[in-house]
Amino acid sequence: MDGAGAQYRSLVRDLKWNNVAAELNPWRMSVAPMMDWTDRHCRYFHRLLSRHALLYTEMVTTGALLHGDVPRHLRFNVEEHPLALQLGGSEPADLAHCARLGQDWGYDEININCGCPSERVQRGAFGACLMHEAPLVAECVKAMVDVVDVPVTVKHRIGIDRDESYGFVRDFVGTVADAGCKVFIVHARNAWLKGLSPKENREIPPLRYAVVHQLKQDFPHLTIAINGGFITSEQVHQELPHVDGVMVGREAYHNPWWLSRWDAEFYGSAVVDMSRESVEEQMVQYMEREAQAHGTPWYAIARHMLGLRHGLPGARRWRQVWSDHRLKGLPAREVWTQAGAC
């Protein structure tokens, strides 16, 4: 267990799990777990931009940890703290085993996915379809809480299919909270389990922030963070009086420079002198270390920072250099030099 992780977990255990000061609330700002995107390289990049935002892994299934390459799935950089592991599964014993693995590897939080609507996830009997089985989710949470000291949290939707009754999500949260979950990250859309792609499920079901606000009013002792549709600081500021935190998804990936303002805007930290160029240089150094330590090709890392110059003149040409397959045989530093000429 590394020192940074131990210090963070000690802080979390001391929380009263309600509206705490911004600097003590780990869930005030976070970056959502996103499949194929929020791997350890992406998270290292995001940590260069914000010291305080809570970062989440891609969803890792219990089957991958029980039968696959555990180090490949759980290895991370110490700089990534605070860091949460999101698990996908529905068997209490399997989730408990994997939660304990996550804690042993140094993760600061274990999150269970009850929000993903994809058919592939549904075939595994987890994700958003679990909201139909609140007692099972509660059993899973209790099994995990019983074996770890770090927080066990749940990410979920506000409803399933076209059922928009508030009672459904209220009862889900109440049942799972009784099992020991104190933190809920709520995507403020229903999950339509049939007829929509995962992309459409992020866009077509309407956002209903008021439902999440009502959850916070009805469960003031719980930590409630909201997710869905956040692309500006103004939106975040509008939500923070109503909930304990905001989770940002794809905007954090496509426009990552936004994260560089979070520490000052949402945590009251001193403004850090940072430039896109200095962040890019640190990423090149990281690419070189990764290549030497693990044989990681630079382009597996560079793909996560292609939004760094979002909205700036020359950004398109810069992205083209860093994603040019013809340059894959060059060292990262040479590609950086070419990109810098844009």
* Residue 52 and residue 19 share a domain: yes
* Residue 204 and residue 78 share a domain: yes
- Count structural domains, the chain: 2
Domain closes at, from 219, 244, 267: 267
pLDDT, one tens digit for every residue, the chain (342 residues): 455 555 545 544 443 333 334 446 999 999 999 999 999 999 999 999 999 999 999 999 999 999 999 999 999 999 999 999 999 999 999 999 999 999 999 999 999 999 988 766 656 577 889 999 999 999 999 999 999 999 999 999 999 998 899 999 999 999 999 999 999 999 999 998 887 887 888 888 899 999 999 999 999 999 999 999 999 999 999 999 999 999 999 999 999 999 999 999 999 999 889 999 999 999 999 999 999 999 999 999 999 999 999 999 999 999 999 999 999 999 999 999 999 887
* Residue 78 and residue 11 share a domain: yes
Distance between CA atoms of residues 135 and 122, nearest Å = 18
* Residue 261 and residue 165 share a domain: yes
What residues make up the domain containing 284? 276-340
CATH number for the domain spanning 315: value is 1.20.120
Query: CB count, 10 Å around CB of 173?
Result: 22
Helix (H, G, I), strand (E, B) or coil at 124: coil
Domain closes at, from 267, 301, 317: 267
Q: What angle do CA 206, 138, 127 make, to 5 degrees?
A: 40
Residues tagged active-site: 116
Distance between CA atoms of residues 5 and 58, nearest Å = 19
* Residue 280 and residue 225 share a domain: no
| Closest to 243 (Cα-Cα) out of 86, 93, 46, 30 | 30
Query: CB count, 10 Å around CB of 169?
Result: 26
Q: What angle do CA 121, 297, 329 make, to 5 degrees?
A: 135
| Closest to 281 (Cα-Cα) out of 330, 336, 227 | 336
Distance between CA atoms of residues 61 and 86, nearest Å = 8
Q: What are phi and psi of 184, to 5 degrees?
A: -125, 125
DSSP 10-25: HHHHH--SSS--GGG-
* Residue 174 and residue 244 share a domain: yes
* Residue 36 and residue 112 share a domain: yes
* Residue 108 and residue 55 share a domain: yes
CATH number for the domain spanning 106: value is 3.20.20.70
DSSP 159-187: EETT---HHHHHHHHHHHHHTT--EEEEE
Q: Are 90 and 130 in contact (CB under 8 A)?
A: yes
Domain closes at, from 213, 233, 267: 267
* Residue 75 and residue 169 share a domain: yes
Neighbouring residues of 159: CB distance < 8 A, sequence distance ≥ 6: 131, 165, 168, 169, 190, 191
Distance between CA atoms of residues 95 and 80, nearest Å = 23
Query: Mind listing the pLDDT tens digit for each residue in 196-218?
Result: 887 888 888 899 999 999 999 99
Distance between CA atoms of residues 268 and 162, nearest Å = 40
Query: Mind listing the pLDDT tens digit for each residue in 138-173?
Result: 999 999 999 999 999 999 999 999 889 999 999 999
Q: Which amino acid is at 96?
A: A
* Residue 324 and residue 208 share a domain: no
Q: Which amino acid is at 24?
A: L
* Residue 241 and residue 223 share a domain: yes
* Residue 192 and residue 65 share a domain: yes
